[in-house]
Amino acid sequence: MVVERPIEALPPLSGITPYPRSVAEHDGRIFFYARADRTKLLGIVSPLSMAPAAGFSGESSEVGDSILWLGEPTPRNASALRQALPWLQPHPLGLSTSAGCGDRLGLATPGHVRAARAVPGIAMIFAQQSIREMSRTIRTPQQVMDDAAWGAFQEGWREPVGADADHLKTTGDIDQCAAAGYTFFTFDPGEHVDSAADGEGVAALQRKFAALPWDALETRPADLMQAYVGTTFQFETLSIAMDEIAVASAAVKYGRAVAHTVAMYRHLDRVMAGRPFEVEVSVDETETPTTHAQHFYIASELKRLGVEWVSLAPRYIGRFEKGVDYIPPPGDCGDLSGFRADFSGHAAIARALGPYKLSLHSGSDKFSIYPVAAEEAGGLVHLKTAGTSYLEALRATSGYDPNLFREILAFAITRYESDRASYHVSAELRNVPAPAGVADADLPGLLDQFDTRQVLHVTFGSVLNSEQGFKARLYEGLESHEEAHYRALESHFIRHLQPLAPDPVG
């Protein structure tokens, strides 16, 4: 059967309410997602003459001249749904301007979809989470993938989607995520970056240079010097000339990271066994900025060693702290001219040696620099967000359950000093208002206050795993007030996507 308005073809349903955008006709069946109290159900309507849909688990009944099948949103049914509805399967997104929406709770994708629908022209990644975040939220790569699929299905998203296995550090991380069906793999060799190289003395630099893993780099010190020294490399208006000290410094700082990335890439290529994938290389979580010469070294050596990548995240100048806007370096005049010059040089290298996209990690809430990045990169940008969705869940919570929000904030204050260790943040507890003294109407505004926002951002793992039962209470509230949650997310992510859109609006 071909149905122009599938929702009108649904049989009478008792006790469940379909999400209107989820209803889709495909290959003779009607698929839908529905809510029943606080639970959700996958529904399939098939003609009596049609064989049961393959791979699904649930219960069926005859309704008129159709079979109505209902099943829970289990991993098995998520897998079968992706097979049945090909638009839910993640694919590589190529060089399109793109954005990734991390979701620490597994409930945010409908809000992300609504924002993406409001700002067309950006390729979206709804399934995105790092192994570090998965461990703190006690989720698996498969759960992250499935939660995003259910959310996209609920909202009727049919545009291409990717799935980002974020900040992978080991081949074991790769194996887990490849098995779960991810198509975008972010390699994080940050632990192999020697940031001290930028201030190293000549003698120490020479010793470290000689000790690099030359076999893994598949070259010799003299050959590396010959490849770079004595030549001026031109990238549009950017000129790079490297002497022996500059080459040694770049190699000492990033050589082991290059070797690690090559090993990860070759392992991934074997594991994927012909399945399409794309790679991002991330060196953003390091102490010192990536200079243009160092970017040139990284990209040139990865190319020489056969790595193909779609985006790269250098460490830009200034501070990309969690949950807040871009913080310029000391002495910046405040007009973003320093960031523009830095980013422009990186963009010129990326166009010449790729092209590939420049990635903005810890990219959420960096509203001041999105227009600059979009302009200077000519759309070759990938925006990566994570904890900002969790913060918007807390904003929604503050509106309908102010006491729960106060409890969470009070607990987060006690955890901040220990939880901040693995993040680049500068919030000071003395600047965070005592939650008991804030009126209900003013609580949502705390999510816009620098210090409070960062304290809540980095303590998510402690909150979700606390003995106080915050996680269950958060989920119960968000599921009962899902429209308030989705509205908060939609509004917040429209602000992220609009400046990056091919035809910005608003």
Q: What is the DSSP secondary-structure string of 253-307? A: HHHHHHHHHHHHHHHHHHHHTT---EEEEE--SSSS---HHHHHHHHHHHHHTT-
Q: Report the distance separating Cα 473 and Cα 403, nearest Å.
A: 11
Residue 331 pLDDT more than 90?
no
Contact 283, 257 (CB under 8 A): yes
Residue 496 pLDDT more than 80?
yes
Residue entry with tokens 């794309």:
278
pLDDT mean across residues, the chain:
95
pLDDT, average across residues 17-34? 96
pLDDT digits (tens, 9 = 90+) for 59-105: 999 998 899 999 999 999 999 999 999 999 999 999 999 999 999 99
352: which 2 tokens? 């010449």
Candidate list 147, 164, 166, 200, residue with the active-site label: 166
Residue 7 pLDDT more than 80?
no
Could you give the C-alpha distances from 248 to 211, 300, 302, in angstroms and in order? 11, 15, 17
Please give the pLDDT value at position 83.
97
Catalytic residue check, 325 = no
Which neighbouring-strand residues pair with 168? Answer: 187
Contact 184, 162 (CB under 8 A): yes
- Phi/psi of residue 393, nearest 5 degrees: -65, -40
Please give the pLDDT value at position 506.
44
Please give the pLDDT value at position 234.
98
Q: Which amino acid is at 472?
A: A
Candidate list 146, 164, 278, 280, residue with the active-site label: 280
Least confident of 12-21, 114-123, 278-287, 351-360: 12-21
Catalytic residue check, 321 = no
pLDDT, average across residues 104-116? 98
Residue 3 pLDDT more than 90?
no
Q: How confident is the model at residue 504 (pLDDT cuts 50, 70, 90)?
A: low
Percent of the chain with pLDDT over 70: 98
Please give the pLDDT value at position 9.
73
